[in-house]
A and B are shown apart, each in its own frame.
Chain A
Amino acid sequence: MTQTQIIAARLALLAAILAAWALLPKYGVLDPRLLPPLGDVLAMLGKQLARSQVQEAIGVTALEVVVAFVIAVPIGAAIGVAAAEFEYFGQIFKPMLFYVFSVPKSIFLPMFILIFGIGFPQKVAYAAFSTVFIVIMSATAAVESVKADHVLVARSCGATKAQILWRIYVPSMMPVLLETLRISMIFNFTGVMIAEMYASRTGIGHLIANWGENFQMPELFAGVIMLSVVAICFNEAVRLLEVRVSKWRT
Protein backbone atom coordinates (compact mmCIF):
# COMPACT_ATOMS: atom_id res chain seq x y z
CA MET A 1 0.00 0.00 0.00
CA THR A 2 1.18 3.51 -0.71
CA GLN A 3 1.44 6.19 1.93
CA THR A 4 -1.69 8.01 0.77
CA GLN A 5 -3.73 4.79 0.82
CA ILE A 6 -2.59 4.06 4.36
CA ILE A 7 -3.56 7.52 5.52
CA ALA A 8 -6.91 7.25 3.75
CA ALA A 9 -7.57 3.87 5.39
CA ARG A 10 -6.71 5.27 8.82
CA LEU A 11 -9.00 8.25 8.32
CA ALA A 12 -11.79 5.93 7.18
CA LEU A 13 -11.31 3.82 10.30
CA LEU A 14 -11.41 6.89 12.52
CA ALA A 15 -14.55 8.13 10.75
CA ALA A 16 -16.21 4.73 11.21
CA ILE A 17 -15.48 4.72 14.95
CA LEU A 18 -16.70 8.28 15.39
CA ALA A 19 -19.84 7.55 13.36
CA ALA A 20 -20.57 4.48 15.48
CA TRP A 21 -20.09 6.53 18.63
CA ALA A 22 -22.44 9.22 17.31
CA LEU A 23 -25.16 6.92 15.98
CA LEU A 24 -25.33 3.73 18.06
CA PRO A 25 -26.36 5.37 21.35
CA LYS A 26 -28.74 7.67 19.52
CA TYR A 27 -30.77 4.82 18.08
CA GLY A 28 -30.74 2.84 21.29
CA VAL A 29 -28.28 0.10 20.26
CA LEU A 30 -26.12 1.14 23.20
CA ASP A 31 -27.42 2.71 26.38
CA PRO A 32 -26.98 6.50 25.95
CA ARG A 33 -26.73 6.87 29.71
CA LEU A 34 -23.57 4.75 29.66
CA LEU A 35 -22.19 6.03 26.37
CA PRO A 36 -23.59 9.46 25.50
CA PRO A 37 -23.63 10.15 21.72
CA LEU A 38 -20.57 11.94 20.35
CA GLY A 39 -22.61 15.03 19.45
CA ASP A 40 -23.80 15.49 23.04
CA VAL A 41 -20.27 15.00 24.34
CA LEU A 42 -18.81 17.61 21.99
CA ALA A 43 -21.55 20.08 22.86
CA MET A 44 -20.79 19.44 26.54
CA LEU A 45 -17.08 19.97 25.88
CA GLY A 46 -17.80 23.42 24.44
CA LYS A 47 -20.04 24.27 27.38
CA GLN A 48 -17.48 23.11 29.94
CA LEU A 49 -14.62 25.00 28.30
CA ALA A 50 -16.62 28.21 28.68
CA ARG A 51 -17.01 27.73 32.45
CA SER A 52 -14.56 29.72 34.56
CA GLN A 53 -14.23 26.87 37.06
CA VAL A 54 -13.01 24.54 34.32
CA GLN A 55 -10.67 27.14 32.87
CA GLU A 56 -9.16 27.64 36.30
CA ALA A 57 -8.69 23.88 36.71
CA ILE A 58 -6.95 23.69 33.33
CA GLY A 59 -4.60 26.48 34.40
CA VAL A 60 -3.72 24.72 37.66
CA THR A 61 -3.10 21.40 35.93
CA ALA A 62 -0.97 22.99 33.21
CA LEU A 63 1.16 24.80 35.78
CA GLU A 64 1.65 21.58 37.77
CA VAL A 65 2.70 19.70 34.67
CA VAL A 66 5.21 22.37 33.63
CA VAL A 67 6.77 22.87 37.07
CA ALA A 68 7.11 19.13 37.72
CA PHE A 69 8.71 18.67 34.30
CA VAL A 70 11.20 21.49 34.87
CA ILE A 71 12.21 19.93 38.19
CA ALA A 72 12.39 16.29 37.09
CA VAL A 73 14.27 16.57 33.79
CA PRO A 74 17.52 18.28 34.92
CA ILE A 75 17.83 16.06 38.02
CA GLY A 76 17.17 12.88 36.08
CA ALA A 77 19.47 13.92 33.23
CA ALA A 78 22.35 14.65 35.63
CA ILE A 79 22.04 11.27 37.35
CA GLY A 80 21.59 9.46 34.04
CA VAL A 81 24.66 11.03 32.42
CA ALA A 82 26.67 10.21 35.55
CA ALA A 83 25.52 6.58 35.38
CA ALA A 84 26.62 6.34 31.74
CA GLU A 85 29.95 8.19 32.00
CA PHE A 86 31.26 6.81 35.32
CA GLU A 87 31.39 3.08 34.93
CA TYR A 88 31.58 2.10 38.59
CA PHE A 89 28.65 4.33 39.55
CA GLY A 90 26.67 2.89 36.65
CA GLN A 91 27.40 -0.71 37.61
CA ILE A 92 26.00 -0.03 41.05
CA PHE A 93 22.88 1.86 40.06
CA LYS A 94 21.69 0.47 36.74
CA PRO A 95 20.40 -2.89 38.08
CA MET A 96 18.67 -1.04 40.91
CA LEU A 97 16.87 1.17 38.43
CA PHE A 98 15.35 -1.87 36.76
CA TYR A 99 13.83 -2.96 40.06
CA VAL A 100 12.57 0.53 40.74
CA PHE A 101 10.77 0.31 37.40
CA SER A 102 8.79 -2.76 38.33
CA VAL A 103 7.50 -1.03 41.45
CA PRO A 104 4.33 1.04 41.19
CA LYS A 105 5.22 4.62 42.10
CA SER A 106 1.62 5.44 42.95
CA ILE A 107 1.76 3.50 46.22
CA PHE A 108 3.98 6.31 47.52
CA LEU A 109 1.20 8.85 46.94
CA PRO A 110 -0.01 8.57 50.57
CA MET A 111 3.49 9.47 51.72
CA PHE A 112 3.45 12.62 49.61
CA ILE A 113 0.03 13.51 50.97
CA LEU A 114 1.19 13.01 54.56
CA ILE A 115 4.21 15.23 53.97
CA PHE A 116 2.91 17.93 51.57
CA GLY A 117 -0.84 17.93 52.14
CA ILE A 118 -3.09 17.82 49.07
CA GLY A 119 -2.20 21.13 47.45
CA PHE A 120 0.00 22.25 44.59
CA PRO A 121 3.38 21.14 46.09
CA GLN A 122 2.16 17.56 46.55
CA LYS A 123 1.11 17.26 42.88
CA VAL A 124 4.41 18.67 41.67
CA ALA A 125 6.49 16.55 44.04
CA TYR A 126 4.72 13.32 43.14
CA ALA A 127 4.77 13.97 39.38
CA ALA A 128 8.47 14.85 39.48
CA PHE A 129 9.16 11.72 41.53
CA SER A 130 7.31 9.47 39.10
CA THR A 131 9.06 11.08 36.11
CA VAL A 132 12.64 11.20 37.33
CA PHE A 133 13.36 7.48 36.90
CA ILE A 134 12.42 7.34 33.24
CA VAL A 135 14.57 10.44 32.63
CA ILE A 136 17.54 8.75 34.32
CA MET A 137 17.09 5.65 32.20
CA SER A 138 16.67 7.50 28.90
CA ALA A 139 19.55 9.89 29.61
CA THR A 140 21.79 6.86 30.13
CA ALA A 141 20.59 5.43 26.85
CA ALA A 142 21.20 8.79 25.15
CA VAL A 143 24.84 8.95 26.23
CA GLU A 144 25.36 5.32 25.27
CA SER A 145 23.94 5.96 21.80
CA VAL A 146 27.03 8.07 21.01
CA LYS A 147 29.25 5.86 18.88
CA ALA A 148 32.73 5.39 20.31
CA ASP A 149 34.10 5.32 16.74
CA HIS A 150 32.87 8.82 16.07
CA VAL A 151 34.52 10.12 19.21
CA LEU A 152 37.74 8.31 18.31
CA VAL A 153 37.82 9.76 14.79
CA ALA A 154 37.17 13.25 16.10
CA ARG A 155 39.91 12.91 18.67
CA SER A 156 42.44 11.64 16.15
CA CYS A 157 41.63 14.60 13.92
CA GLY A 158 42.60 16.76 16.88
CA ALA A 159 39.18 17.96 18.03
CA THR A 160 39.08 19.76 21.35
CA LYS A 161 36.81 18.60 24.19
CA ALA A 162 34.30 21.35 23.43
CA GLN A 163 34.27 20.41 19.75
CA ILE A 164 33.69 16.73 20.58
CA LEU A 165 30.83 17.74 22.84
CA TRP A 166 29.14 19.99 20.27
CA ARG A 167 29.93 18.15 17.07
CA ILE A 168 29.63 14.52 18.22
CA TYR A 169 27.75 14.20 21.50
CA VAL A 170 24.95 16.70 20.92
CA PRO A 171 23.92 15.64 17.37
CA SER A 172 24.19 11.94 18.25
CA MET A 173 22.12 12.32 21.38
CA MET A 174 19.51 14.70 19.96
CA PRO A 175 16.96 12.11 18.72
CA VAL A 176 17.19 10.09 21.93
CA LEU A 177 16.98 13.27 24.00
CA LEU A 178 13.81 14.33 22.24
CA GLU A 179 12.36 10.87 22.77
CA THR A 180 13.27 11.21 26.44
CA LEU A 181 11.42 14.50 26.64
CA ARG A 182 8.41 12.97 24.92
CA ILE A 183 8.19 9.88 27.11
CA SER A 184 8.94 11.71 30.33
CA MET A 185 6.15 14.13 29.46
CA ILE A 186 3.77 11.15 29.20
CA PHE A 187 4.90 9.96 32.64
CA ASN A 188 4.71 13.45 34.06
CA PHE A 189 1.20 14.05 32.74
CA THR A 190 0.02 10.70 34.08
CA GLY A 191 1.60 11.49 37.45
CA VAL A 192 -0.23 14.79 37.75
CA MET A 193 -3.51 13.14 36.67
CA ILE A 194 -3.26 10.34 39.24
CA ALA A 195 -2.33 12.74 42.02
CA GLU A 196 -5.28 14.97 41.14
CA MET A 197 -7.71 12.09 40.87
CA TYR A 198 -6.53 10.61 44.15
CA ALA A 199 -6.88 13.59 46.44
CA SER A 200 -7.33 17.15 45.30
CA ARG A 201 -9.57 20.19 45.38
CA THR A 202 -8.94 21.48 41.88
CA GLY A 203 -7.43 20.49 38.54
CA ILE A 204 -8.77 18.55 35.58
CA GLY A 205 -8.02 15.17 37.16
CA HIS A 206 -10.13 16.12 40.16
CA LEU A 207 -13.01 17.21 37.91
CA ILE A 208 -12.87 13.94 35.95
CA ALA A 209 -12.89 11.82 39.11
CA ASN A 210 -15.80 13.89 40.41
CA TRP A 211 -17.83 13.57 37.23
CA GLY A 212 -17.27 9.81 37.30
CA GLU A 213 -18.46 9.52 40.90
CA ASN A 214 -21.58 11.58 40.16
CA PHE A 215 -22.33 9.57 37.01
CA GLN A 216 -22.19 12.69 34.81
CA MET A 217 -21.21 10.77 31.70
CA PRO A 218 -21.30 13.57 29.06
CA GLU A 219 -19.03 15.73 31.23
CA LEU A 220 -16.75 12.76 31.93
CA PHE A 221 -16.36 11.86 28.25
CA ALA A 222 -15.83 15.52 27.35
CA GLY A 223 -12.95 15.68 29.84
CA VAL A 224 -11.42 12.45 28.58
CA ILE A 225 -11.58 13.64 24.96
CA MET A 226 -9.98 16.96 25.82
CA LEU A 227 -7.08 15.40 27.72
CA SER A 228 -6.50 12.74 25.06
CA VAL A 229 -6.37 15.30 22.26
CA VAL A 230 -3.89 17.47 24.16
CA ALA A 231 -1.68 14.50 25.01
CA ILE A 232 -1.69 13.08 21.48
CA CYS A 233 -1.00 16.47 19.86
CA PHE A 234 2.01 17.14 22.09
CA ASN A 235 3.32 13.64 21.48
CA GLU A 236 3.01 13.88 17.70
CA ALA A 237 4.63 17.33 17.62
CA VAL A 238 7.73 16.06 19.42
CA ARG A 239 7.78 12.94 17.23
CA LEU A 240 7.90 15.10 14.11
CA LEU A 241 10.90 16.93 15.56
CA GLU A 242 12.52 13.58 16.39
CA VAL A 243 12.27 12.46 12.78
CA ARG A 244 13.81 15.72 11.59
CA VAL A 245 16.85 15.64 13.85
CA SER A 246 17.59 11.97 13.18
CA LYS A 247 17.64 12.41 9.41
CA TRP A 248 21.44 12.67 9.26
CA ARG A 249 21.72 9.11 10.54
CA THR A 250 20.19 7.48 7.50
Chain B
Amino acid sequence: MRRPSPSAVRWMLLAALLLLWELMPQTKIVPELFLPSLSKTLTVLWKDRVEYAENLLVTLYEVGVAMLIACGAGILVGALVGGISVLRNLMLPVFSSLYAVPIVILYPIFTAWFGIGSESKIAFAGIYGFFPVMLSTAAGIRTIDPQYMLAARSMGATLPQQIVRVIIPASIPTVLSGLRLGGALTIIGVVVSEMLTASAGIGYLVTRYRTILDSPHVFAAILMILLLSILFDLLARAVERRTLVWQTAGRRVPSAGAATSTTRMPAPAPV
Protein backbone atom coordinates (compact mmCIF):
# COMPACT_ATOMS: atom_id res chain seq x y z
CA MET B 1 0.00 0.00 0.00
CA ARG B 2 1.25 3.50 -0.77
CA ARG B 3 1.89 5.72 2.19
CA PRO B 4 -0.29 8.85 2.41
CA SER B 5 1.54 12.09 1.65
CA PRO B 6 3.20 13.81 4.64
CA SER B 7 0.93 16.85 4.47
CA ALA B 8 -2.17 14.62 4.49
CA VAL B 9 -0.82 12.90 7.59
CA ARG B 10 -0.29 16.31 9.18
CA TRP B 11 -3.89 17.35 8.60
CA MET B 12 -5.07 14.02 9.92
CA LEU B 13 -2.96 14.52 13.05
CA LEU B 14 -4.44 17.98 13.55
CA ALA B 15 -7.98 16.60 13.16
CA ALA B 16 -7.20 13.79 15.57
CA LEU B 17 -5.82 16.28 18.08
CA LEU B 18 -8.96 18.43 17.91
CA LEU B 19 -11.14 15.33 18.18
CA LEU B 20 -9.21 14.13 21.24
CA TRP B 21 -9.54 17.59 22.76
CA GLU B 22 -13.32 17.26 22.39
CA LEU B 23 -13.70 13.61 23.40
CA MET B 24 -11.19 13.06 26.21
CA PRO B 25 -12.80 15.50 28.66
CA GLN B 26 -16.32 14.42 27.68
CA THR B 27 -15.59 10.77 28.38
CA LYS B 28 -13.91 11.78 31.64
CA ILE B 29 -10.55 10.24 30.67
CA VAL B 30 -9.07 13.63 31.48
CA PRO B 31 -10.74 15.71 34.21
CA GLU B 32 -12.54 18.83 32.97
CA LEU B 33 -10.38 20.93 35.28
CA PHE B 34 -7.20 19.93 33.42
CA LEU B 35 -8.64 20.17 29.93
CA PRO B 36 -12.14 21.47 29.21
CA SER B 37 -13.58 20.16 25.95
CA LEU B 38 -13.14 22.13 22.74
CA SER B 39 -16.86 22.86 22.38
CA LYS B 40 -17.06 24.19 25.92
CA THR B 41 -14.02 26.41 25.35
CA LEU B 42 -15.51 27.83 22.17
CA THR B 43 -18.90 28.44 23.85
CA VAL B 44 -17.21 30.36 26.64
CA LEU B 45 -15.16 32.32 24.13
CA TRP B 46 -18.29 33.31 22.23
CA LYS B 47 -20.28 34.14 25.35
CA ASP B 48 -17.63 36.53 26.69
CA ARG B 49 -16.50 37.76 23.31
CA VAL B 50 -16.68 41.42 24.33
CA GLU B 51 -14.29 40.93 27.22
CA TYR B 52 -11.90 38.90 25.09
CA ALA B 53 -12.03 41.41 22.23
CA GLU B 54 -11.29 44.35 24.55
CA ASN B 55 -8.29 42.61 26.05
CA LEU B 56 -7.13 41.44 22.64
CA LEU B 57 -7.06 45.10 21.55
CA VAL B 58 -4.81 45.98 24.49
CA THR B 59 -2.47 43.13 23.63
CA LEU B 60 -2.42 44.06 19.94
CA TYR B 61 -1.60 47.68 20.78
CA GLU B 62 1.31 46.62 22.98
CA VAL B 63 2.55 44.15 20.36
CA GLY B 64 2.34 46.80 17.64
CA VAL B 65 4.36 49.44 19.50
CA ALA B 66 6.89 46.89 20.75
CA MET B 67 7.36 45.56 17.22
CA LEU B 68 7.98 49.05 15.88
CA ILE B 69 10.64 49.63 18.52
CA ALA B 70 12.24 46.20 18.13
CA CYS B 71 12.36 46.36 14.33
CA GLY B 72 13.43 49.99 14.09
CA ALA B 73 16.19 49.79 16.67
CA GLY B 74 17.14 46.27 15.59
CA ILE B 75 17.61 47.18 11.93
CA LEU B 76 19.49 50.38 12.78
CA VAL B 77 21.93 48.81 15.25
CA GLY B 78 22.22 45.68 13.12
CA ALA B 79 23.14 47.73 10.05
CA LEU B 80 25.80 49.63 12.01
CA VAL B 81 27.25 46.51 13.62
CA GLY B 82 27.15 44.54 10.37
CA GLY B 83 28.48 47.30 8.16
CA ILE B 84 31.34 48.68 10.24
CA SER B 85 34.01 46.06 10.82
CA VAL B 86 35.42 47.64 13.99
CA LEU B 87 32.03 47.56 15.68
CA ARG B 88 31.41 44.06 14.40
CA ASN B 89 34.59 42.58 15.87
CA LEU B 90 33.99 44.46 19.06
CA MET B 91 30.31 43.86 19.68
CA LEU B 92 28.96 40.72 17.98
CA PRO B 93 30.58 38.20 20.36
CA VAL B 94 29.41 40.32 23.28
CA PHE B 95 25.82 40.18 22.06
CA SER B 96 25.92 36.43 21.63
CA SER B 97 27.27 36.05 25.17
CA LEU B 98 24.48 38.25 26.50
CA TYR B 99 21.99 35.98 24.73
CA ALA B 100 22.59 33.41 27.49
CA VAL B 101 20.91 35.63 30.09
CA PRO B 102 17.23 34.81 30.54
CA ILE B 103 15.71 38.19 29.69
CA VAL B 104 12.58 37.44 31.69
CA ILE B 105 14.43 38.15 34.95
CA LEU B 106 14.62 41.80 33.84
CA TYR B 107 10.85 42.11 33.81
CA PRO B 108 10.51 42.92 37.54
CA ILE B 109 12.90 45.84 36.95
CA PHE B 110 10.65 47.15 34.17
CA THR B 111 7.52 46.92 36.31
CA ALA B 112 9.33 48.81 39.07
CA TRP B 113 10.42 51.49 36.60
CA PHE B 114 7.37 51.83 34.37
CA GLY B 115 4.48 50.54 36.48
CA ILE B 116 2.18 47.64 35.56
CA GLY B 117 0.52 49.37 32.59
CA SER B 118 1.31 48.96 28.92
CA GLU B 119 4.69 50.73 29.11
CA SER B 120 6.47 47.94 30.98
CA LYS B 121 5.14 45.33 28.52
CA ILE B 122 6.25 47.40 25.54
CA ALA B 123 9.73 47.90 27.00
CA PHE B 124 10.13 44.23 27.85
CA ALA B 125 8.78 42.87 24.56
CA GLY B 126 10.76 45.47 22.62
CA ILE B 127 14.02 44.22 24.10
CA TYR B 128 12.88 40.64 23.61
CA GLY B 129 12.34 41.17 19.90
CA PHE B 130 15.32 43.48 19.40
CA PHE B 131 18.08 40.84 19.53
CA PRO B 132 17.00 38.52 16.71
CA VAL B 133 16.26 41.48 14.41
CA MET B 134 19.63 43.07 15.20
CA LEU B 135 21.62 39.85 14.79
CA SER B 136 19.98 38.84 11.53
CA THR B 137 20.34 42.34 10.06
CA ALA B 138 24.04 42.26 10.91
CA ALA B 139 24.35 38.78 9.37
CA GLY B 140 22.38 39.87 6.30
CA ILE B 141 24.69 42.78 5.62
CA ARG B 142 27.79 40.73 6.29
CA THR B 143 26.87 37.91 3.93
CA ILE B 144 26.35 40.15 0.88
CA ASP B 145 28.31 38.77 -2.05
CA PRO B 146 31.42 41.02 -2.22
CA GLN B 147 31.29 40.80 -6.03
CA TYR B 148 28.09 42.88 -6.06
CA MET B 149 29.82 45.61 -4.07
CA LEU B 150 32.91 45.43 -6.25
CA ALA B 151 30.83 45.71 -9.42
CA ALA B 152 28.86 48.67 -8.06
CA ARG B 153 31.98 50.44 -6.90
CA SER B 154 33.89 49.93 -10.14
CA MET B 155 30.97 51.43 -12.03
CA GLY B 156 31.34 54.48 -9.84
CA ALA B 157 28.36 54.13 -7.49
CA THR B 158 28.35 56.62 -4.63
CA LEU B 159 27.83 55.43 -1.08
CA PRO B 160 24.08 56.29 -1.01
CA GLN B 161 23.69 54.49 -4.32
CA GLN B 162 25.52 51.46 -2.98
CA ILE B 163 23.26 51.38 0.03
CA VAL B 164 19.98 51.78 -1.86
CA ARG B 165 20.78 49.66 -4.90
CA VAL B 166 22.99 46.90 -3.50
CA ILE B 167 23.05 46.60 0.26
CA ILE B 168 19.34 46.91 0.97
CA PRO B 169 18.04 44.56 -1.75
CA ALA B 170 20.74 41.98 -1.09
CA SER B 171 20.21 41.87 2.66
CA ILE B 172 16.41 41.83 2.59
CA PRO B 173 15.91 38.05 2.82
CA THR B 174 17.99 37.65 5.98
CA VAL B 175 16.51 40.78 7.53
CA LEU B 176 12.99 39.55 6.84
CA SER B 177 13.58 36.19 8.46
CA GLY B 178 14.91 38.12 11.45
CA LEU B 179 11.79 40.27 11.49
CA ARG B 180 9.61 37.17 11.50
CA LEU B 181 11.50 35.76 14.47
CA GLY B 182 11.59 39.14 16.22
CA GLY B 183 7.87 39.66 15.67
CA ALA B 184 7.06 36.24 17.10
CA LEU B 185 9.24 37.05 20.09
CA THR B 186 7.52 40.38 20.74
CA ILE B 187 4.16 38.60 20.81
CA ILE B 188 5.60 36.10 23.26
CA GLY B 189 7.17 38.87 25.33
CA VAL B 190 3.91 40.78 25.61
CA VAL B 191 1.91 37.69 26.55
CA VAL B 192 4.46 36.52 29.13
CA SER B 193 4.68 39.92 30.78
CA GLU B 194 0.90 40.19 30.84
CA MET B 195 0.74 36.81 32.53
CA LEU B 196 3.25 37.86 35.19
CA THR B 197 1.94 41.27 36.26
CA ALA B 198 -0.72 43.25 34.42
CA SER B 199 -4.18 44.72 34.64
CA ALA B 200 -5.35 44.07 31.08
CA GLY B 201 -4.59 41.98 28.02
CA ILE B 202 -5.04 38.38 26.94
CA GLY B 203 -2.18 37.14 29.11
CA TYR B 204 -3.80 38.83 32.09
CA LEU B 205 -7.04 36.93 31.37
CA VAL B 206 -5.11 33.65 31.42
CA THR B 207 -3.71 34.40 34.85
CA ARG B 208 -6.92 35.83 36.30
CA TYR B 209 -9.05 32.84 35.31
CA ARG B 210 -6.29 30.44 36.34
CA THR B 211 -6.30 31.75 39.89
CA ILE B 212 -10.04 31.11 40.20
CA LEU B 213 -9.64 27.67 38.54
CA ASP B 214 -11.97 28.53 35.67
CA SER B 215 -10.29 26.35 33.04
CA PRO B 216 -12.71 26.90 30.11
CA HIS B 217 -11.94 30.62 30.26
CA VAL B 218 -8.20 29.91 30.55
CA PHE B 219 -8.27 27.70 27.47
CA ALA B 220 -10.33 30.22 25.54
CA ALA B 221 -7.56 32.76 26.11
CA ILE B 222 -4.86 30.21 25.26
CA LEU B 223 -6.67 29.42 22.03
CA MET B 224 -6.73 33.11 21.09
CA ILE B 225 -2.99 33.49 21.70
CA LEU B 226 -2.30 30.35 19.64
CA LEU B 227 -4.35 31.72 16.75
CA LEU B 228 -2.67 35.12 17.04
CA SER B 229 0.85 33.71 16.82
CA ILE B 230 0.01 31.30 13.99
CA LEU B 231 -1.69 34.08 12.01
CA PHE B 232 1.35 36.31 12.45
CA ASP B 233 3.62 33.51 11.28
CA LEU B 234 1.54 32.86 8.15
CA LEU B 235 1.44 36.57 7.35
CA ALA B 236 5.18 37.00 7.80
CA ARG B 237 5.91 33.96 5.61
CA ALA B 238 3.64 35.31 2.87
CA VAL B 239 5.45 38.67 2.91
CA GLU B 240 8.79 36.87 2.82
CA ARG B 241 7.79 34.80 -0.21
CA ARG B 242 6.60 37.86 -2.11
CA THR B 243 9.78 39.85 -1.54
CA LEU B 244 11.97 36.90 -2.42
CA VAL B 245 10.56 36.61 -5.93
CA TRP B 246 13.24 38.73 -7.59
CA GLN B 247 15.98 36.55 -6.17
CA THR B 248 14.67 33.08 -6.85
CA ALA B 249 13.73 34.14 -10.39
CA GLY B 250 17.42 34.79 -11.09
CA ARG B 251 20.10 32.23 -11.74
CA ARG B 252 21.42 31.49 -8.31
CA VAL B 253 19.45 31.01 -5.13
CA PRO B 254 21.43 32.63 -2.33
CA SER B 255 21.08 30.80 0.93
CA ALA B 256 19.24 33.24 3.14
CA GLY B 257 20.39 31.88 6.48
CA ALA B 258 24.02 31.51 5.39
CA ALA B 259 25.44 32.88 8.59
CA THR B 260 28.72 31.47 9.75
CA SER B 261 29.00 29.76 13.08
CA THR B 262 30.24 32.87 14.87
CA THR B 263 27.13 34.85 14.00
CA ARG B 264 24.65 32.03 13.78
CA MET B 265 21.11 33.19 14.32
CA PRO B 266 20.13 32.67 17.91
CA ALA B 267 17.64 29.95 18.44
CA PRO B 268 14.10 31.27 18.67
CA ALA B 269 11.92 31.99 21.66
CA PRO B 270 13.33 30.57 24.86
CA VAL B 271 9.94 30.92 26.53
Contacts and interface: CB of A to CB of B under 8 A. Distances in A.
Interface string A178-221: 00000100110111011001100000010011011101010011
- How many of chain A's residues touch chain B, expressed as a range? 35 or more
A106 B195 contact: yes
B164 interface: no
Contacts of A175: 261
A96 B112 contact: no
A175 B261 CA distance: 10
A234 B102 CA distance: 13
A110 B267 contact: no
A88 B271 contact: no
A250 B116 CA distance: 51
A194 B104 contact: yes
A217 B112 contact: yes
A227 B213 contact: no
Interface residues of B, number: 58
30 contacts: A6-B89, A6-B90, A9-B90, A13-B90, A88-B6, A102-B268, A103-B230, A104-B192, A107-B226, A111-B35, A114-B34, A114-B213, A175-B261, A186-B99, A186-B270, A187-B270, A190-B270, A190-B271, A194-B192, A208-B108, A213-B108, A213-B111, A220-B109, A221-B109, A224-B106, A232-B98, A234-B100, A235-B100, A236-B100, A246-B261
Given A104-B187, A138-B267, 13 more contacts: A34-B113, A95-B10, A101-B268, A105-B269, A106-B195, A110-B206, A183-B267, A190-B102, A190-B271, A194-B192, A223-B105, A228-B105, A232-B100
Interface of B: 3, 6-7, 9-10, 13, 33-35, 86, 89-90, 94, 97-109, 111-113, 184, 187-188, 191-192, 195-197, 203, 206-207, 210, 213, 215, 218, 221-222, 225-226, 229-230, 232-233, 261, 267-271
